[in-house]
Amino acid sequence: MFGFRTRDRTSREHQSRAFAIVERYGRLKAYCPAAAFVFDGIVRRTRDLVGDRSLPLDRRLALLDRNIEEAAPVRGVDGGVSIAALRFVRLILAFERADGIGTMLLSRAFVTICEDSECFRNLEERDGLPPQHEKVRDPLAKAGFSTVAELVRSMRDPSSYLDDPPVVVQANIWNVLAVMDLREANPHVWTLLADLESAISGPFVPWVANKAR
């Protein structure tokens, strides 16, 4: 992935960590593409924030911390995948000031994930059937739908949105399909997510002092 080796211990740790994140993300994607799509979608949406050097680093970290705090109460929507993605982005930013080599290595992991799939699956025959899993069935029923296909058709109806361009509507549909697939996924996906989270939140994250909002 990186094409070179580092000599000092700290740099080796950073490189090992970056490899672990990408490798575990790959395992998550191979087992549950929906989980990986939700994860890398959150990461892609933070690219402007990560690269915005007009904002002080502490301010960017504070914005991410706020997003993480706001996502925590609704963790059940995607099982915490979005929180893991935001913590990954925070890791990248934290290393921006703490260590130049670590920033470069982990930033490559960030780019690798950002450049992953930007589209998800299309509607399938199963989407037209009443879902068996209550985590999909119940929210659909509360919104007045009996199938995922009904929900997607309503999202495509021009009267259901204002000025969103088609590309945004399609991205929203892919995200809904991914979240619905994730809710029906085998519980092993959460073991794989925990493995990815352990690589993200390992012992090498530098602490940045300013938590001001």
Q: Is residue 35 part of a domain?
A: yes
What DSSP element (H or E) covers 153? Answer: helix 148-156
Closest by CA to 121, choosing from 166, 40, 179, is 179
Average pLDDT over residues 189-213: 68
Average pLDDT over residues 183-208: 80
Of residues 34 and 157, the one with the higher pLDDT is 34
Query: Would you call 124 exposed, middle or buried from its count of C-beta atoms within 10 A (0-12, 13-18, 19+)?
Result: exposed
Give yes or no: residues 110 and 42 share one domain.
Answer: yes
pLDDT at 205: 41
Q: Is residue 47 part of a domain?
A: yes
The whole-angstrom separation of Cα 67 and Cα 83 is 8
pLDDT at 200 over 50: yes
Give yes or no: residues 54 and 155 share one domain.
Answer: no
pLDDT at 11: 65
Contacts 24+ apart (CB under 8 A), 98-106: 98/206, 98/208, 99/10, 99/14, 99/206, 101/6, 101/10, 101/11, 101/14, 102/10, 102/11, 102/14, 102/204, 105/2, 105/6, 105/11, 105/14, 105/15, 105/17, 105/18, 106/14, 106/17, 106/18, 106/21
Give yes or no: residues 102 and 150 share one domain.
Answer: no
Q: Is residue 16 part of a domain?
A: yes
pLDDT at 207 over 80: no
The whole-angstrom separation of Cα 21 and Cα 25 is 6
The whole-angstrom separation of Cα 197 and Cα 73 is 18
What DSSP element (H or E) covers 211? Answer: none
- Residue 65 belongs to domain spanning: 9-118+188-200
In angstroms, the Cα distances linking 130 to 126, 144, 179 are 8, 13, 16
Q: Is residue 211 part of a domain?
A: no
Give yes or no: residues 111 and 76 share one domain.
Answer: yes
Query: Would you call 74 exposed, middle or buried from its count of C-beta atoms within 10 A (0-12, 13-18, 19+)?
Result: exposed
Give yes or no: residues 88 and 141 share one domain.
Answer: no
Tally the domains of the chain.
2
By mean pLDDT, which of 9-13, 99-103, 161-165 is the weakest? 99-103
pLDDT at 191: 95
Query: Tens digits of per-residue pLDDT, 102-142?
Result: 667 788 889 889 888 789 999 999 999 999 999 999 999 99
Q: Contact 91/106 with Cβ under 8 angstroms? A: yes
Query: Tens digits of per-residue pLDDT, 19-34?
Result: 899 999 999 999 999 9
